[in-house]
A = this chain, B = another copy of it.
Amino acid sequence: MTDDNLTELQRHIESLVEEGGVDELQAVLGRLHPSDIAALFPRLGRLEQNFIWDLLTDEVSSEVLVELEEPAQEELLDQLSEGEIGRLVDELESDDAADVIGTLDDDKAQKVLETLDDESRRDMHRLLDYDEETAGGIMALEVAAVKETDNVRQAVNELRDLVENEGVEDIYNVYIISEDGILRGVLNLRQFILAPPDTPVSELMEGDIVSVPTSMDQEEVAVIVRKYDLVSLPVVDDYNRLVGRITIDDIVDVLAEEAEEDISIIAGTRDEEPGERSTFKVFRERFPWLLTGLAGGLVAATIMNYFEATLVQIIALAFFVPVIMAMGGSTAIQSSSIVVRGLATGEIEIRDLIPRIYREIRVALLNGAVLGIILALIVSFWLSEVQLGFLIGIILLLNICIASLLGASVPIIMKKMGIDPALAMGPFVTTMNDIIGLLLYLGLAMLFLT
């Protein structure tokens, strides 16, 4: 559905609500995908939202709730009672249900859990116990598994039962387990269709199967799914027992989230959502980075104040402070972003620290030499300050080398220390770079030019 269609639909629905055209409204909503209703929802006023919400079946409104973007979802959850949320959660697959409960505050979550039946409550507790960003945190418990002693006909009957009674919906792969629940192998659904019904599943199954433990970080899970082009991935406990499955649409969300996270680290927007309407909430997300920048800038001002005598003597030195600082910052982010990406995809590893530094320094020497010569020539001719030009050129070269060294090594060292390497692209490292560049610049200038 395009933006224009959505706008048209919005108008249509608004006028139907005004006229109180319940039957036609219900017909219009019935033709929409829950995702479309979720896209439309934040555009409507409170009145229209309530009107529509009451017309949706639980099956549809639970999906709408899951598909809503964060600020709108939060607003909606604030308005729903614990009982209503419990009823909607019951309609959802376990991973989505746990996500919804996970966004509630502890008190409300507790009350929602109390409205569920024993089995669902136990399932939710199990899922909520896992760290949100691990395989356990993103997996669903509804998994299509059949016993290794089955033949195809028996397996199909078991699957039918799972679909009809256990809420298993999306089946891409059927897992084969032992009597004790140990994961033995996998069968593609296609094979069920093509094989004779009395073939034992153990004969058809692929036994060499990729699985992940519940504790694996979701980013690593995403790397595995991408690497092996998987559509679904079984999750196992410490004893290799099948406990859940992750489907690729969850991985798509993980990838999108991680990409947004990386950009939000570089840009300093933290958890801000594009749809957030509260000025104060946006302010709260953005302010810390700007404050760090201000602090960094004040350190720079202190350094320049310290070198005041030198600056007064050669005011032209001040002109090139922005160049030196910008070049250091740019170089550092180039080196660090490539290393962060390489670490995320597995193309760069911790043991590659030394060769990586070596490679970065080679590139930095080349960039620094070319840019240093250009800057030296321009300063020499423009300001007729050959000595200054020469010095600035050399400082630029040094600065680019140091920035590259830090940019390439900090993420690898952070990864080794168990810290998210993406943070190396954040304000702290960038600011540190600025300050080192400035000290180097003014310090050497004072030494050699005054």
A residues apposed to B, CB below 8 Å: 3, 7, 31, 33, 35, 39, 67, 69, 156, 159-160, 163, 170-172, 189-190, 192-194, 208, 210, 225-231, 247-249, 251-253, 255-256, 258-260, 262-264, 266-269, 272-275, 277, 279-280, 282-283, 286-287, 289-291, 293-294, 296-298, 300-301, 304-305, 308, 311-312, 315-316, 318-327, 330-331, 333-334, 336-339, 341-342, 345-351, 359, 362-363, 366-367, 370-371, 374-375, 378, 383, 400, 425, 427, 434, 438
Contact = CB atoms under 8 A, between A and B. Distances in A.
A323 B297 contact: yes
Given A192-B193, A290-B367, A304-B318, 8 more contacts: A39-B346, A226-B253, A266-B266, A267-B337, A268-B330, A289-B334, A308-B315, A311-B315
B172 A366 contact: no
Contacts of A322: 297, 300-301, 304, 321-322, 325, 434, 438
Contact of A301 (B229, B323, B349): B323
Nearest to A168: B190
A342 B255 contact: no
Contact of A289 (B163, B262, B330, B438): B330
Contacts of A228: 33, 35
Given A160-B194, A290-B371, A337 B259 contact: no
B193 A190 contact: no
A402 to B, nearest CB: 15
Contacts of A327: 290, 293-294, 297
A330 B311 CA distance: 27
A364 to B, nearest CB: 9
A374 B294 contact: yes
Contacts of A170: 231
Main secondary structure on A side of the interface with B: helix
A400 B324 CA distance: 23
Nearest to A291: B371
B231 A248 contact: yes
A176 to B, nearest CB: 16
Contacts of A67: 227
A286 B363 contact: yes
Contact of A290 (B194, B253, B331): B331
Nearest to A282: B363
Pick the most buried of A31, A190, A308, A359: most chain B CB atoms within 10 A of its CB.
Answer: A190
5 contacts: A226-B252, A256-B259, A298-B378, A301-B320, A312-B312
Contacts of A347: 69, 273-275
A359 to B, nearest CB: 7
Contacts of A252: 225-226, 248, 251-252, 255
Nearest to A396: B294
Contacts of A300: 319, 322-323
A124 B339 CA distance: 35
Contacts of A366: 279-280, 283
Given A283-B367, A323-B298, A367-B283, A290 B227 contact: no
B318 A318 contact: yes
Contact of A294 (B315, B362, B375): B375
Contacts of A301: 319-320, 322-323
Contacts of A320: 297, 301
A258 B189 CA distance: 32
A296 B326 contact: yes
Pick the most buried of A170, A291, A293, A362: most chain B CB atoms within 10 A of its CB.
Answer: A293
A309 to B, nearest CB: 10
A150 to B, nearest CB: 14
Pick the most buried of A67, A287, A321: most chain B CB atoms within 10 A of its CB.
Answer: A321
A100 to B, nearest CB: 16
Contacts of A231: 170, 172, 231, 247-249
